[in-house]
Amino acid sequence: MKEDYKKYADEVVQLRHYFHQHPELSNQEIETTEKIKEILTGWGIKIIPTELETGLVAEIKGESKGATIALRADIDALPVEERTDLAFKSESEGIMHACGHDLHITSLLGAIRYFNGHKNLIKGTVRFLFQPAEETGSGANQVLAKDVLHGVQAILGFHNNPNFKTNEIALQKGPMMAGCYKFEIKISGRGSHGAKPEKGSDPIVTLGEMISSLQTIVSRNINPQDAVVVSVTRVSAGSVWNIIPGEAVLGGTVRLFKLENAELVKQRLTKIAENIAAAHDQEVSVDWEERTLPIANDAALTNAVIDNLDFKVVQPILSMAGEDFATYQKQVPGVFAFVGSNGAPDAADWHDPKFIGLDETLPTGIGYFVEGALGILNYLNT
């Protein structure tokens, strides 16, 4: 480590515990936003006025002119009842920072503290984005809709990752986290007495066939070297034991890294649904929704970040989970990494009631933001 980021981590670790104790759900991060505002104001950091209802943007200008970049941390928590033994366990019933966004908030605060004392190192402007509502997949869209990133030439972010040790950063150009899609298939048959199926047109049998056939998309249509998931996660049909219902619904999610596979899965899914329904003289409607795009790291910026990192950089394990940081990458080139937050072989994963992100994540998170930002500014300014 070039710099002793531990010093900055020590300054924010109590804040990390505070945020962990007071988690708030997506788009309800009112006290979290207030607290961040209070801390930044106390440090004399400029807060940029925005129309965001929760979340905020701050800025530090360097002593010399240059590019403008943004560092992003998401701030929301999840509807999960915490089941850890941490001394700073959640105090809000049924809400937990089970994705470790409290570590993201405080790593960014630590980086702000660093930059505030090192304006001489900044060639240009660094904007700090505390983003709301990552967990619903809508926060980044809200930020872009309010034009908060106007003039930003590159964006840098990370997610803590309990699969890696706290001194490790996992990063590569190209894919990191999957694109996330939601689908729903509605089958319209004709209801009848359970004892007289010949009088109706049973949508449940059709639904059963569809579930099995959807499994062939990954096994028979996708290139075996590409990672794709098709999961049916919800079925609903009927309400009583002796009536065949008129309608059946199945829904689920698709995860993938290559955009061309999104088109292929959507086409196959629609064709399978339509043709199985047609074989049974039934109607079907298919709803397909893009939630988050795959994270795709800009090659040149990723190299600029890696070259300037004085940490152990390891090969990432691609995550099938989605992250709305990808939404920014549609408009602004960006780099997203995993910062190790636990590393124990049995560490609970994101969204688990027993998820534990260690305090030791903070020096690496702060260092990633600081060195990554300086690497990017250096690259953009030359």
Residues 6+ apart with CB under 8 A from 12: 106, 107, 109, 110, 113, 362, 366
3-state SS class at 70: strand
Q: How far is the CB of 130 from Zn ion (least distance, A)?
A: 14
With tokens 């788009």, the residue in question is 27
By the 8 A CB rule, do 165 and 343 touch? yes
Question: Strands (DSSP E) along the chain, which ranges?
Answer: 46-48, 56-61, 64-74, 123-131, 154-165, 168-170, 174-175, 179-188, 192-193, 228-237, 243-244, 247-256, 283-292, 296-297, 312-314, 334-342
Query: Contacts with Zn ion: how many residues (CB under 5 A)?
Result: 1
Asked if residue 103 binds Zn ion (CB under 5 A), the reply is: no
Q: How far is the CB of 233 from Zn ion (least distance, A)?
A: 17
State how far the alpha carbon of 250 is from the alpha carbons of 139, 184, 208, 254, 278, in Å: 27, 6, 10, 13, 17
Q: Which two tokens stand for residue 29?
A: 């991060």
Q: Which residue is nearest to Zn ion (CB)?
A: 99
Asked if residue 293 binds Zn ion (CB under 5 A), the reply is: no
**Which lies closer to Zn ion via its Cβ, residue 114 or residue 130?**
130
Asked if residue 177 binds Zn ion (CB under 5 A), the reply is: no
**Which lies closer to Zn ion via its Cβ, residue 40 or residue 99?**
99
With tokens 């090192």, the residue in question is 118
Q: How far is the CB of 72 from Zn ion (least distance, A)?
A: 12
Select the span of 93-101, 137-145, 253-261, 304-312 touching Zn ion (CB under 5 A).
Answer: 93-101
Q: How far is the CB of 162 from Zn ion (least distance, A)?
A: 11
Q: How far is the CB of 360 from Zn ion (least distance, A)?
A: 19
Q: How far is the CB of 302 from Zn ion (least distance, A)?
A: 20
CA distance 352 to 338: 18
**Which lies closer to Zn ion via its Cβ, residue 99 or residue 358?**
99
Asked if residue 339 binds Zn ion (CB under 5 A), the reply is: no
State yes or no: 180 annotated in a binding site. no
State how far the alpha carbon of 287 is from the alpha carbons of 11, 162, 227, 343, in Å: 49, 34, 23, 39
CA distance 204 to 31: 47
State yes or no: 159 annotated in a binding site. yes
**Which lies closer to Zn ion via its Cβ, residue 99 or residue 335?**
99
Select the span of 62-70, 94-102, 298-306, 365-373 touching Zn ion (CB under 5 A).
Answer: 94-102
Residue type, 339: V
Q: How far is the CB of 194 from Zn ion (least distance, A)?
A: 42
Select the span of 91-99, 123-131, 286-294, 306-314 touching Zn ion (CB under 5 A).
Answer: 91-99
State yes or no: 101 annotated in a binding site. yes
Asked if residue 99 binds Zn ion (CB under 5 A), the reply is: yes
**Which lies closer to Zn ion via its Cβ, residue 183 or residue 336?**
336
**Which lies closer to Zn ion via its Cβ, residue 26 or residue 33?**
26
Q: How far is the CB of 325 from Zn ion (least distance, A)?
A: 10
State yes or no: 99 annotated in a binding site. yes
DSSP labels, 214-281: HHHIIIIIS-TTS-EEEEEEEEEE-SSTTEE-SEEEEEEEEEES-HHHHHHHHHHHHHHHHHHHHHTT
**Which lies closer to Zn ion via its Cβ, residue 99 or residue 154?**
99
Q: Which two tokens stand for residue 293?
A: 């795009």
Selection from 141, 153, 150, 181 nearest residue 324 by Cα: 141
**Which lies closer to Zn ion via its Cβ, residue 97 or residue 268?**
97
Which positions touch Zn ion (CB under 5 A)? 99
Please report, in range form, the residues annotated as the binding site for Mn(2+): 99, 101, 135, 159, 351
